Structure 1
Amino acid sequence: MSYRTDRNSDPELSFSDAELRDLAVAWLTLSAAFALLFEPIHRGGNVALFVEMVVLSLVTVGMGFLLHEIAHKVVAIEHGQTAEFRADYQMLFLAIMGALVGFLFAAPGAVYHRGQITERENGLIALAGPVTNLLLALLFLPLMILPGILGVIGQMGIWINLFLAAFNMIPFGPLDGKSVLEWHKGVFTLVFVPSVLLAGFVVFYVGLF
């Protein structure tokens, strides 16, 4: 997710201590939330399986979330913006609470970018995150046919990245889809529709595992 403000500043590709802290907290919290969704220990799930799921989520959610946000940051800087990720601690709490009841609202924070920018450039910055997740889903696809832990990582990587792409393309509030839709309806449709269909297909027809 990305969010635009209007204050100008000289852009540079760097990560502050506060940004690294927020990325780490969001990564760990999202991983725990996904693990609760996959292996609901609070409903009598196996503790060992839950711990294993947390580790797997750190890998798959970590790649999906971190590269999504870094993609926003890199594209924003390429367009002359100052960009930095900030965690939303209320939304992280909501992610954990939602996972406990079987629903995950994955909006852990946003890359805030500042500077003069066009509507097209703002749309491209927003689009970078979901497109990155779709590409990651493709990268995880070959692992899915492998046996054992690699196959599980492949399945989780595909599902999580399709979910993140579809969710973030919803044209509502601070989510990426709203900025993309405001810029170009055709591009929005081209990314949003396949993301939702693929995520729905995996959840309702293939299954998570």
Structure 2
Amino acid sequence: MCLIYLILLEFTKEELRNLTIAFVVLTFCFSIATVGLNVERILSILPIVMVSVVIGSLLHELGHKFVAMKYGCLAEFKLWPLGLVIAVVSSFFGFVFASLGSLHISPENLSDEINGKISIAGPMANLGLALIFIAIAALIYPLKIHSNVFI
């Protein structure tokens, strides 16, 4: 069923451009926040950061878009230039405050319930990813019964 929605998704050229810019900027922001301005170290972690950003961001936006489509709405990602600047500047301080854009939904006169469902779909996609990766991490790195840390 989700595959059918994915095939039916329509992206405008501007939306694809905006998403690409957001993904590239966010990838570099997380890389800089993680390893600083060392180009060699940035390049070494860039592939894994890029995969993480694309998976997390794309599924977040697709979550909004799927639910909007379910209710017969159009949804388009719009870039927020000031958000790009804030993300880049915050990355130099070791964290990323990312609000690179938003999904604009039409028609705008939706009920609060439908608008809420569309709005929560993105964060729920991220929560689902978090649970999946926590489960994978727990399988790869089993919990220790004791700890070597003493308080």
* In structure 2, C-alpha distance between the alignment counterparts of 1:73 and 1:83, rounded to whole Å: 6
Note the 1:19-58 alignment, pairs <5 A: 19-41=15-37, 45=38, 47-58=39-50
* In structure 2, C-alpha distance between the alignment counterparts of 1:135 and 1:107, rounded to whole Å: 20
Query: What's 1:163 paired with?
Result: none
Question: What is the aligned residue count?
Answer: 132
Equivalent residue in structure 2 for 1:137, among 115, 121, 130: 130
* In structure 2, C-alpha distance between the alignment counterparts of 1:89 and 1:66, rounded to whole Å: 19
Q: Which has the larger radius of gyration?
A: 2
Note the 1:1-209 alignment, pairs <5 A: 13-41=9-37, 45=38, 47-115=39-107, 116-144=109-137, 146=140
Deviation at 1:95, TM superposition (A): 0.3
State the secondary structure of the residue aligned to 1:91.
Answer: helix
Aligned-CA RMSD value = 1.7
Q: Provide the TM-score with structure 2 as the length reference.
A: 0.80
Deviation at 1:13, TM superposition (A): 3.1
Q: Structure 2 unaligned runs (5+)? A: 1-7, 142-151
Whether contact under 8 Å (1:95, 1:106) holds in the other structure is yes
Deviation at 1:143, TM superposition (A): 4.2
* In structure 2, C-alpha distance between the alignment counterparts of 1:127 and 1:40, rounded to whole Å: 33
Report percent identity of matched pairs. 33
* In structure 2, C-alpha distance between the alignment counterparts of 1:139 and 1:75, rounded to whole Å: 21
Whether contact under 8 Å (1:88, 1:108) holds in the other structure is yes
Whether contact under 8 Å (1:67, 1:132) holds in the other structure is yes
Runs of 4+ in 1 over 6 A off after TM superposition: none
Q: What is the CA deviation profile of residues 60-83 of structure 1, one whole-angstrom value per residue up to 9, with x for unaligned ones?
A: 011101110111111112112111
* In structure 1, C-alpha distance between the alignment counterparts of 2:18 and 2:96, rounded to whole Å: 19
Whether contact under 8 Å (2:18, 2:77) holds in the other structure is yes
* In structure 1, C-alpha distance between the alignment counterparts of 2:96 and 2:76, rounded to whole Å: 24
Q: Structure 1 unaligned runs (5+)? A: 1-11, 148-209
Q: Which amino acid aligns with 1:114?
A: S
Deviation at 1:142, TM superposition (A): 4.5
Q: Provide the TM-score with structure 1 as the length reference.
A: 0.59
